Amino acid sequence: MNILAQLISSLIKWALFFGILYLIFTNFGTFLIILFVLIAIGYYLVYQFKKKIREASSGSGTHFKFTFNGQDFSQAGANNFNFNDFQEQFRRGNFQAAPQFGEVSKAKEFFGFTSDPTKEEIKKRYKELARKYHPDINDHGDELMQQLNHYKDVLLKAFP
C-alpha cells in the first residue's frame, strides 16, 4: 500500500506540474499571438501612412510646394525690403532686442550726454572714456570698461 500511495502521489505531482506548464504555455502562446497581430497591424498602418506621404510628395495629386526667391523682396510691393541688407544684418548678429528706455537714459548719463547723440559723438566720447576707464590705467579693474562697452552698444542701437 505504501508503494501505491507513493505512486499516486507522484502521479498527482506530475499531473499538477504538466497542468501548470500547459496553462502557462497556452496563455503565453495566446499572448504571443495577440502581440504578433498588434505588431503586424501597427506595421501596416505605418506603411500606409508612409505610402501616402510619398505619393503626396512625388507629384501625384495636389499639394503645396514653397519656393523662395530673394528677388521677390526687392519689388515695390514689399516695402522696398533689401534681402542683401537682411543677410548682412543677420551675419553680424544685429537682431538683438532694442534697449529699454531706462537703459538708454543710464547710458546717456554714463557718457555725459544731455541730448540725443549722433553716432560720431558716441564713438568720440567712447574713445575718451576708454582711455579713462581702461583696466590697465585705473585701479577699478575691468568693471567700468565692461559698463562702457555695454552702454556704447546700447547707444549705438538707440541712435543709429
Q: Where are the domains of the chain?
A: 1-61, 97-160
**pLDDT for position 132:** 83
CA 5 from chain center: how many Å?
75
Dmax of the chain from CA atoms? 120
Rounded to an integer, what distance in angstroms lies between the CA atom of residue 130 and that of residue 123?
10
**pLDDT for position 156:** 84
Task: Summarize pLDDT for 14-50 with one digit per residue, the tens.
Answer: 888 888 877 777 877 777 777 788 888 889 998 998 8
Residues of the chain with confidence (pLDDT) below 50: 76
Cα distances (Å, whole numbers) of residue 152 to 37, 64, 133, 137: 69, 47, 13, 20
**pLDDT for position 93:** 62
**pLDDT for position 80:** 60
The pTM (predicted TM-score) of the whole model is 0.40
**pLDDT for position 94:** 56
Fold assignment, 97-160: Helix Hairpins (1.10.287)
Rounded to an integer, what distance in angstroms lies between the CA atom of residue 80 and that of residue 50?
42
**pLDDT for position 10:** 87
**What string of H, E and C letters represents the secondary structure of the chain?**
CHHHHHHHHHHHHHHHHHHHHHHHHHHHHHHHHHHHHHHHHHHHHHHHHHHHHHHHHCCCCCCCCCCCCHHHHHCHHHCCCCHHHHHHHHHHCCCCCCCCHHHHHHHHHHHCCCCCCCHHHHHHHHHHHHHHHCCCCCCCCCHHHHHHHHHHHHHHHHCC
